Amino acid sequence: MGDLPIEASGLVRRFGDFVAVDRVDLAVRSGEVFGFLGPNGAGKSTTVRMLTTLLTPTEGTARVAGYDVVREASKVRRAIGVALQDAAIDPLMTGNELLRLQAALQGIPRSAAARRGAELLERVGLTAAGDKRVGAYSGGMRRRLDLALALLHEPRVLFLDEPTTGLDPSSRLNLWEEVRYLNSELGTTVLLTTQYLEEADQLAERIAIIDGGRIVREGRSGDLKAEVGSPTLRIELADGDGVAAQAEAALAPFGEARPCEAGFVAVGLSGGAARMAEVVRALDEVGVTVAGMELHNPTLDDVFADATGRRLEGAAEDTGPDEAGPGTMGSDGSDGRGSGAGAGPGGDGAGPGAGVGGSAAAVSAGRRRGRR
Amino acid sequence: MAAVAADATGVAGADARAQRATRGLRSAMAQVGALSGRSVRNIWRQPQVWIPSIAFPLMFAALNTAALGRVPGQIADQSGGTFHPFGPRDVYLDFLFVATLTQGVLFGGLSGGSELAQDIESGFFDRLVTTPVRRASILVGRLAGSAVLGGVQALVFMAVFLAFGARVQGGLAGAVVLPLAAMLLALTIGGLACAMAIRTGSVEAVQGVFPLIFITLFISSAFFPTALMTGWYRTVATHNPLSTMINGMRHQVLVGFDLAEAAKAVLVPGGLATLAIVLCLVSLRARLAQR
Ligand SMILES: Nc1ncnc2c1ncn2[C@@H]1O[C@H](COP(=O)(O)OP(=O)(O)OP(=O)(O)O)[C@@H](O)[C@H]1O
Ligand SMILES: [Mg+2]
């Protein structure tokens, strides 16, 4: 227990009567990238601020790098690197000046600081901008500088609070690369908060989903998804709806039918992708020609929806068009859940219009409502 | 043998401790140095901060001399003698010099507090606080900018006033007292503004103090000799610590160098600065504790 880089038990933070963080337990292992996923106002930043000694917990305890965040705050500060969500970088200073200041604050000798600062600027692609004032940096450049600042003293534990919010896709990818590098090459333990499903999926070995101040799910992304249900196999029928009945009959042994639009059939494929070939053969045997096939795995959004009954904000943009298909559409409401093993991403029978293209508009409106 | 060995480790322990202390001191100095560098540089990079704090008091001085330049330098007092409110040379400019200096420093000193409030508002302060930096270093670093600006203001004002014919009777010694007092006064105002910034975290709140400081300046001996005032105004002005400081500084200009007067000029703002900084530290501790 004692050597976990980040551990929290029963962490509570109230602001007046409002409970921002509610009995959060965390155990982040050494060398792990841990994702803290949640919508706006979930309590991510508040948790990070407690772990980085900026806020005192109302209740509970937390240890970072082996030190208590309240009683041994200064030791914690020495061990951690922090890129806060809304801590502006002084726009009047240049990148190099900020690195020098950070070095002095971290007690790094000047010569070592200069070398390391140059190295980090190079790595985050800011060498040319090092002598420019931060006021002239783009959002992405600031984020990268922020990362360089957090890394200057080679922290054992790194906190990144929404490091890619507001970044364009390519800057986001760069930052991901950097986090992966830090983690795999330097063994830095990273706690990263995000509202982006894909980011949590791509970067984090384990994920905690937080909503309303509480951790509602925790585990490996794959396991969390598997808990939600089997993937949906969506098959386009070459001969249209006329053969849908035959197709569904042939598919019955593979799993329960899932709603989808006309000209398609869908099935919750127990056993996963490995059985796709079998499906094709089975359909072939009954004379159904397959025009196309897509396997939709449950997404973290489905996990989130399963846990909270709501969709995560921005999920539609974030996960890409193929996952906004009928497989996920039916499940915007919470009531379609809970029908046991089959409650996959298709959510079964979420309202009268479930499963047909015509309900898409209504469903997405519902989704939007669910976001706030 | 055992005793010797124990002794040796004792010595080694003390050595290590001394080394740690030296290292700690050196890193604290480096922190203060870096933070002070930042605050001085940032003021320099914001001409909208330092230009008004030099230009406005000079403009005010120009208006004042134009308006009051012909006020008689000699006034008959009740006992039949003559009173020289503007000093033996009877030059209003000589008298005005210290007033302008004080006004400028009060004006500029607020910038330190505004900058800290700015840091708190923008979250840069949080960035600093997540590092192992000493809390006091953050304050000292922030105030250094104010102090340096105060010193620079004093030198600029002195140059301008001398160019326009003012004279410092106290010579070099007297002239040294002025920037010194100015820096301490800047620290006082900067410290008060910082305490305010720490308590409120709002730039507006800090800048809202501005009129209050100006009233304090106007009810002092800055622009008129207290001897010419009447009633409660005179009472307040006489007891205003700013008047004590101003009179001490003014003595160097109008009369000549005088150690007792110099002490007043320096010790009053020195004492106030100490109080202000203590207030600041207490506020900071409170702010960090109640988070
Ligand atoms: N200092 C504060 N005083 C009062 N309420 C606060 C304070 N800080 C945070 N809160 C509230 O606590 C809740 C959690 O906020 P927090 O910033 O931790 O959310 P978050 O998960 O980081 O959200 P986001 O994705 O928008 O950054 C919010 O409802 C917020 O309004
Ligand atoms: Mg946040």
* Structure confidence by residue, pLDDT tens digits, A215-233: 999 999 888 888 877 788 8
Is residue A44 within 6 Å of ligand 1 at its C-beta? Answer: yes
Q: Give B12's pLDDT tier (boundaries 50, 70, 90).
A: low
Q: Give B193's pLDDT tier (boundaries 50, 70, 90).
A: confident
Lowest mean pLDDT, pick from A86-90, A353-357, B234-238: A353-357
Find the mean pLDDT for residues B198-222: 85
For chain B, what is the largest distance between any 2 Cα atoms, rounded to a whole number of angstroms? Answer: 91
Find the mean pLDDT for residues A195-205: 89
Q: Give B7's pLDDT tier (boundaries 50, 70, 90).
A: low
Supply the mean pLDDT for chain A: 80
Q: Is A359 exposed, middle or buried (0-12, 13-18, 19+ CB in 10 A)?
A: buried
pLDDT one-digit tens code per residue, A5-20: 999 999 999 998 999 9
Lowest mean pLDDT, pick from A75-79, B62-66, B154-158, B188-192: B62-66
pLDDT at A337 (0 to 100): 32
Find the mean pLDDT for residues B116-121: 86
Q: Give A316's pLDDT tier (boundaries 50, 70, 90).
A: very low
pLDDT at B113 (0 to 100): 77
Q: How does DSSP classify residue A94?
A: B
Ligand 2 geometric centre to CA of A82 (Å): 13
pLDDT one-digit tens code per residue, B29-70: 889 999 999 998 998 998 988 888 889 889 888 888 877 766
Q: Is the pLDDT of residue B72 over 90?
A: no
Q: Give B17's pLDDT tier (boundaries 50, 70, 90).
A: confident
Query: pTM to 2 decimals?
Result: 0.76
Contacts of B42 in chain A (CB under 8 A): 90, 92-93
pLDDT one-digit tens code per residue, A237-291: 888 888 888 888 888 888 878 777 788 888 888 776 788 888 888 988 988 888 8
Is B274 touching A (CB cutoff 8 A)? no
- Nearest ligand 1 atom to the CA of A85 is 27
pLDDT at A255 (0 to 100): 83
State percent of chain A over pLDDT 70: 83
Query: Which strands make up the sheet holding A80-83, listed edge to edge?
Result: A80-83, A157-161, A189-194, A33-37, A206-211, A214-220
Q: Is the pLDDT of residue A311 over 90?
A: no
Q: Is the pLDDT of residue A124 over 90?
A: no
Ligand 2 geometric centre to CA of A112 (Å): 33
Q: How many domains does chain B have?
A: 1
Q: Which of residues 131-150 of B touch A (CB under 8 A)?
A: 131-133
Other CB atoms within 10 Å distance of the CB of residue B228: 12
Is B202 touching A (CB cutoff 8 A)? no
CATH homologous superfamily for the domain A6-224+318-371: P-loop containing nucleotide triphosphate hydrolases (3.40.50.300)
**Fold classification of A230-297 (topology level):** Alpha-Beta Plaits (3.30.70)
Q: Give B263's pLDDT tier (boundaries 50, 70, 90).
A: very high
Q: Which of residues 50-89 of B touch A (CB under 8 A)?
A: none
State percent of chain A over pLDDT 90: 39
Q: Is B14 exposed, middle or buried (0-12, 13-18, 19+ CB in 10 A)?
A: exposed
Q: How does DSSP classify residue A191?
A: E
Find the mean pLDDT for residues B282-290: 82
Q: Which residue of A has its CA nearest to B118?
A: A90
Most confident residue range from A22-26, A174-178, B151-155: A22-26
Residues facing A267 on adjacent strands: A233, A257
Q: Which residue's CA is minimally distant from atom 8 of ligand 1?
A: A46
Burial string for B79-106 (b: 16+ CB within 10 Å, else e) reads eeeeebbbbebebbbbbbbbbbbbbbbb
Enumerate the domain spans of chain A.
6-224+318-371, 230-297
CB A27 within 8 A of CB A48: no
Contacts of B128 in chain A (CB under 8 A): 105
Most confident residue range from A168-172, B112-116, B160-164: B160-164
CB A162 within 8 A of CB A46: no
Most confident residue range from A67-71, B29-33, B94-98: A67-71
Range of the domain at B13: 2-289
Contacts of A97 in chain B (CB under 8 A): 38, 41
pLDDT at A2 (0 to 100): 55
CB B197 within 8 A of CB B190: no
- Nearest ligand 1 atom to the CA of A16 is 4
Higher pLDDT, B65 or B237: B237
pLDDT at A330 (0 to 100): 32
